[in-house]
Amino acid sequence: MTHPSATPLAAEAVRRRHQRRVVVTLSLAQLLSGIGNGSGLALGSLMAVELTGSNAFAGAPTMAISVAGALTALPLAGLAIRRGRGRALSAGLLLAALGAIGMVLTPIAGSFGLLLASAALLGVGNAANLQARFAATDLAEPRSRARDLALVVWAITIGAVTGPNLIGPGAVLGTRFGLPEMSGPFLFSLTGMLLSVVVLNIGLRPDPLAFVHASGDLAEPRGTGPSTIRGGLAVLHRNRGARLGVLTITASHLVMVAVMSMTPVHLKDLDALAAGGHAGSMAGHHASLNVLVLIGFTISLHIAGMYALSPLVGLLADRRGRIATMLVGDAVLVAALLTAGLGASHTWTVTVGLVLLGVGWSLATIAGSAYVSESVAPGHRVQVQGLSDALMGAAGALGAAGSGFVLALIGFRGLGLGCLVVVLLVAAYALLQPRRGRAAGMAERR
């Protein structure tokens, strides 16, 4: 580790070299842990419907994932400050590994409670993955902050896109071990989580936050502990830049989770209609392997939209500005919701809408996260990052909890158009911010 008394040039050289190592380590860990995310999202809603017999509970697993992520984001941020990023990320992923074991056992036990508990543990892993993107900014230079963050986000692409496509092979593997078809894919999830923990414990030594602590940048002002909600809210109250970034992240995640979590159910609904049934009978229509593969493929494309273009999004945010990129994200989300909502009766239009939804989420989340990180003074940064992730998780929980009931009441088209209103309101808020407000907090970051 670089000693504070080292010459500035030598210290900066070591900092840059270690930042490269941090980005590579986080990227590899994200790739491995991402295998578990897609399967949980794609199969959780189907498990819920089959266990309860009602579409209204389809969003319950995603809600559990989001609630757990929201509740553990601040504790993980506090653990990162006390013990380092590596310990915090590893703790979250180990709990997610337990969740993967629970998902393997859920179809065997036929327990809705076990499904929710397992999904919640997977949500802790999601919170850790979200924190990883901020970990990429700890040692980053301002001119490349969005790029480094985006590279770590992009790394999850391979694992996350592969995950849903392993549903078919996982089902076959599960049957060979005497497991139900829906249990098998989570064997891959478990393996990915454990390998990710190994990578983090090897690559994040010394821990990136140790460099920041050594420089004195993380000294906390009195009365504002690193993981308190009140302290983070106080920063957002007086910092318009951070507030705009957090609002953009939160809203984009809400609409993405709401629509994405209902897509497997809607596609199964379309399959029931094609088979001569009707949407109301869908809960009793057992998903065939072909439908599971179709769902996995669709979710894979959606996740590819979320992550595959991340490096380009980071470059765009660095070169054209964070706010401009966030507004582009809002525009893409509008196009996504119109496409999926108005074309809800066709599989291909739903798929195109899901891909655009992922791209819009990427633009809004990467630009918003970089904007939050640079709008806040170093002493408050990890605190506000944790609060941002907590609010993001809460929004996802709200989207997941409400989307099932909205789907049951007014259908997939109504859900998409309802989310459209949320995006338009956030875009209007960003456009109405005075120039002085948009720049608020920029002096504080220095």
- Residue 1 covered by a domain: no
In angstroms, the CA 419 to CA 261 distance is: 13
Given a cut of 60, is residue 446 above it in pLDDT?
no
- Residue 124 covered by a domain: yes
Q: Using one digit for the tens of pLDDT, what is the confidence trace for 59-116?
A: 788 778 878 988 898 899 889 888 889 999 999 999 999 999 999 999 999 999 999 9
- Residue 22 covered by a domain: yes
Domain span at residue 244 reads 8-210+225-445
10 Å Cβ neighbour count for 304?
18
- Residue 342 covered by a domain: yes
Given a cut of 80, is residue 168 above it in pLDDT?
no
| Residues contacting 356, CB < 8 A, separation 6+ | 305, 332, 333, 335, 336, 339, 340
CA 17-18-21 angle, to 5 degrees, is 95
Between these two residues, 438 and 352, which has the higher pLDDT value?
352
Give the count of domains, the chain: 1
- The pLDDT score that the predictor gives to residue 283 is 46
10 Å Cβ neighbour count for 193?
27
pTM reported for the whole predicted model: 0.73
Q: Using one digit for the tens of pLDDT, what is the confidence trace for 368-409?
A: 999 998 888 777 788 888 889 889 888 988 887 788 788 888
CATH number for the domain harbouring residue 62: 1.20.1250.20
In angstroms, the CA 381 to CA 383 distance is: 5
Q: What is the DSSP code string of 101-112? A: HHHHHHHHHT-H
Q: Using one digit for the tens of pLDDT, what is the confidence trace for 15-67?
A: 888 889 999 999 999 888 877 565 656 688 788 888 988 877 877 887 788 78
- Residue 382 covered by a domain: yes
Q: Using one digit for the tens of pLDDT, what is the confidence trace for 199-256?
A: 999 999 888 887 776 665 554 443 344 446 677 788 888 888 889 999 999 999 999 9
Highest mean pLDDT among 34-43, 169-178, 350-359, 403-412 belongs to: 350-359
- Residue 336 covered by a domain: yes
- The pLDDT score that the predictor gives to residue 364 is 96
